[in-house]
Structure 1
Amino acid sequence: MSINSGADAGSWGARCLNVTRIMAIAAAALVPASTAAASVAVVLMLVSWIISGRAVATLRAAAAQRVGQAVLVFLALLAVDTIYSVATWEDSWSSLWSWRKLALGLIVLGLFAEETWKLRLLQAFLVVSAAGSAASYVGWLGLIPSKTGHAAGVYFTNHATQGITFAVAVLCCLELGRHTGPRLRHLLQAGALLFAVNVVFISTSRSAYAALVCVVLVWSLGRVGWRRLPLVAGAVAVLVAMAFGLSSTLRDRVEQGIDEVRNYQSAPEVTSAGIRVVFWKNSLDLIAERPLLGYGTGSFAKAYGDRFVMPELGWRGWPATDPHNQYLFIAVENGLVGLVAFIAILVAAFREARGPGAYRGIVRGMLLAWCVSSLFNSHFRTFPEGHLIWLMVGAMLARVPRNDSAGSIQPDSSRARSR
């Protein structure tokens, strides 16, 4: 019996898989706000999935899709690379474990073919995001106490996670608004505006600014087509210029980042952008020494420390566990072979997300946002951002295998129409 078929909806296995889906939704919706709550949801998700008796069938459904195949190849490569890693076994397996978000995405890729579950995930995500945005505005106005250790208006895990989450919420509102009635469409458009204003005027995250530009660009191109890219790019550039002029917070953060990059060699104190430049330059030197296979899974801290940790250099000689660049991190640990395998996942996901449909539009926007922000962070791997991207992408791209039950619900009505 197919895992996507409703014929055995009352069976033990089907009920367990529904619990798995619910917990996956909870994890994706809650992870920006509470990593602890998301962790509990993930544990319950895995337990219900394992005891369902459908785990193998789920993985087969995921492996039937190109994205699933690419994920399996990359995870297998990471496991093999622990064999020759210069790191300890503990560090190697800890690094491998940090990529578990990809495995979770693989599971939901095999479980979320029904459009109903995709929509429930987006609804839950928007509810949590809306609650966070409301709290952010109230806190920013000083009406409620700020979260300890965070700037005013930041109540999610950190300012970057909150800003990126709200940028994704903008995308979800705009994409869903294209496929609803006028009343709900206007509500979603208003929500998108409030989320965007929060990012521009309250967020201090440069990654969030980049993510917002990416999702607006992708959504706009989805509306008018790639042939009008110059027009869309120009319009987005005008919006960026307006935001830069109106928001002193955005303007100050961008100018600060530029100054930190320019002065990283002479700065007496460590800066967020300055230390990134040091990490990037040193990482490129490491890659040049072992370009093909890298130093092995979990090796970054040791390889970097053995070569570049020098207390006499001050903050420029500090140790590092991550270069704050996802692509450099993979290239150092797993070489160009690993980097190509990772990029293959992104290419497969972008290819699956081609064409019309709200779900595929959300995937395109999120992937571009993460690809850009991961030039300055490791957002495909960090806990909140990593869980969010892989659970969302896996769920939105999930589809009914061609040999699946005829009674299965099509994952995206626009996909059915476009075939």
Structure 2
Amino acid sequence: MFRFLRAPSDEIQNKINLWLNHLLVIYSFLIPINNNAKSSLFFTMLVLFLYRRDYWFYLKEALSNKIVQAFLIFYLINAFGMLYTENIAYGKSHMDKIKYLLLPLMFLSFLDIRYVWRIVAAFVFGMFTAEIFSYLIHFGVLPYEFDIGKYEIWKTFPYSPAPFMNHGAHNVGLALVIAILLYNLLNKKHVSTAVKIFSLIFMTTATINMSFIASRVGYVLYIFIILVVIMLTFRKKIVKVLASTIIILSIISTLTYNYSNTVNYRVNQTINSIEKIINDDNYKTSVGLRIGFTKYSLDVIKENLLFGVGTGDHMDKVRAIVPEKHKYIDSISKPHNVYTQILLQIGLVGMIGFIYLIYSILSYKNTTKDKKDIMIIFTLAVLVFMLPGMLYDTFSLPLFVVFISAMIANKEYNIKYNKMNGNLLLKYIIFVILFLIIGITR
């Protein structure tokens, strides 16, 4: 029994650390591909993490990091909200969604600095894979629905062919990849010709792909995040470069609005929804339901300003005060605005905790300029896609914590690092296929 409790040898622990780094690369690839496969892979990583033991030795450094502390504080504030909630079931569901806030503590206990950019590249290729399938579906090469026996592989729609995620996450992922590639092209001097060509092609095809995916948040994020990259790159001559960038983005926006039926429809739909609210007090549209819910949320927030209504009660409390003429707003399943949701659930205390998390990331100094800029890009992107409520899901939050963890990792472990080659790539592909099979058949 005592032998079982004893930590494995240093050699075994080093092998586990090596496996965990490789598995995190695969995890990053699977984030935009399949949530069940990603979850199964994480379970494997958790088993290895627990078997390695020596927890204090590995966790003490991560616990001393102020960003990790900020993630933990925000998680604990949400957990505190469970103490005064009545809807325990909804509260438990919420806590399950935000469990990713705990992952930086685990990731930094094994993440080797040499694997950081491989993790980033894995996500880029994951989104590239999702984009290829989107194109194949859009042009009729693959069907909109595909099953193998009783197992569903994907189900999407003609107006928004995003096979592996909802359309919002698909376009957000593409916008983030465009930002990463653009930043590397503008800031890294020793980028190979092959990488430059791939980056330019991917940025172009991703932009076109976004134009036939019906995601308004993706369109807004695309413009915003490119401006962020330009401002980070050309700090000293920002006025001249920013003016040129705005002109180019205006041309791209005009062309997509005029020549993409999807973009044209979604923009006009938003305008019509706002006009209905202003002229007819009618919230019975996709945008209107979200605005209407936010409107009535403000009254609940005012009455529970400090601590909110509890982690699980926010939907019930708002629905209770919606007047009869707007009862259709009750059909909305979530606030679709994370800022509103935080204030509803855990009040000003929770919002202060969240602001501290953002401040901890934006003010972090113990990393390189490139990594700090990537952190800024992802953090500002989060602040944008929180407006339609895209944080507490199985794509946005895990992606955010993986990238932040990678950017603040600064340790080199006693493990082997092999440059990418055909043999290693084949092993990655085999493990991806294995976890996809496990995830699909769960």
**TM-score, normalised via structure 2 length:** 0.80
Q: Which residue of 2 aligns with 1:98?
A: 97
Q: Which residue of 1 aligns with 2:220?
A: 210
In the aligned structure 2, how far is the partner of 1:370 from the partner of 1:274?
Answer: 22
Q: Which residue of 1 aligns with 2:11?
A: 11
Change (3 A) 1:235 1:54: farther
> What amino acid maps onto 1:219 in structure 2?
V
CA contact (8 A) 2:176 2:378 kept: yes
Shift of 1:232: 4.4
Change (3 A) 1:108 1:261: farther
In the aligned structure 1, how far is the partner of 2:335 from the partner of 2:117?
Answer: 36
Query: Secondary structure of the residue that 1:264 maps to in structure 2?
Result: helix
CA contact (8 A) 1:14 1:52 kept: no
Q: Which residue of 2 aligns with 1:192?
A: 203
Query: Secondary structure of the residue that 1:297 maps to in structure 2?
Result: coil
Q: Which residue of 2 aligns with 1:4?
A: none
Q: Which residue of 2 aligns with 1:121?
A: 119
In the aligned structure 1, how far is the partner of 2:296 from the partner of 2:317?
Answer: 10
Shift of 1:143: 2.6
Task: Report 1:196-345 matches (<5 A).
Answer: 196-199=207-210, 201-225=211-235, 227-247=236-256, 248=260, 249-264=262-277, 266=280, 270-308=284-322, 313-316=326-329, 318-345=330-357
Shift of 1:324: 0.7
In the aligned structure 2, how far is the partner of 1:268 from the partner of 1:77?
Answer: 36
Q: Which residue of 2 aligns with 1:369?
A: 381
> What amino acid maps onto 2:12 in structure 1?
W
> What amino acid maps onto 1:261 in structure 2?
I
In the aligned structure 1, how far is the partner of 2:371 from the partner of 2:228?
Answer: 13
CA contact (8 A) 2:32 2:123 kept: no
Say whether residues 1:75 and 2:75 are aligned partners.
yes
Change (3 A) 1:77 1:324: same
Give structure 1 stretches of 5+ with no counterpart: 1-7, 410-419
> What amino acid maps onto 1:385 in structure 2?
S
Query: Secondary structure of the residue that 1:296 maps to in structure 2?
Result: coil
Shift of 1:311: 5.9
Change (3 A) 1:394 1:234: same
Shift of 1:349: 0.9
Shift of 1:205: 0.6
Give structure 2 stretches of 5+ with no counterpart: 1-7, 146-154, 417-442
The CA deviation string for residues 252-307 of structure 1, in whole angstroms up to 9 with x for no partner, is 32232122122136387832111111011111111111111111222212222333
> What amino acid maps onto 1:344 in structure 2?
Y
Q: Which residue of 2 aligns with 1:416?
A: none
The CA deviation string for residues 100-124 of structure 1, in whole angstroms up to 9 with x for no partner, is 1111233224433x33211221121
> What amino acid maps onto 1:223 in structure 2?
T
Shift of 1:23: 3.0
In the aligned structure 2, how far is the partner of 1:253 from the partner of 1:313?
Answer: 24
In the aligned structure 1, how far is the partner of 2:62 from the partner of 2:173?
Answer: 26
- CA RMSD, 1 decimal: 2.7
> What amino acid maps onto 2:274 in structure 1?
V
CA contact (8 A) 1:353 1:397 kept: no
In the aligned structure 2, how far is the partner of 1:110 from the partner of 1:237?
Answer: 42
Q: Which residue of 2 aligns with 1:47?
A: 47
Query: Secondary structure of the residue that 1:50 maps to in structure 2?
Result: helix
Q: Which residue of 2 aligns with 1:388?
A: 399
Change (3 A) 1:137 1:282: same
The CA deviation string for residues 58-86 of structure 1, in whole angstroms up to 9 with x for no partner, is 4322222111111122122222221122x
Query: Secondary structure of the residue that 2:84 maps to in structure 1?
Result: coil
CA contact (8 A) 2:134 2:163 kept: yes
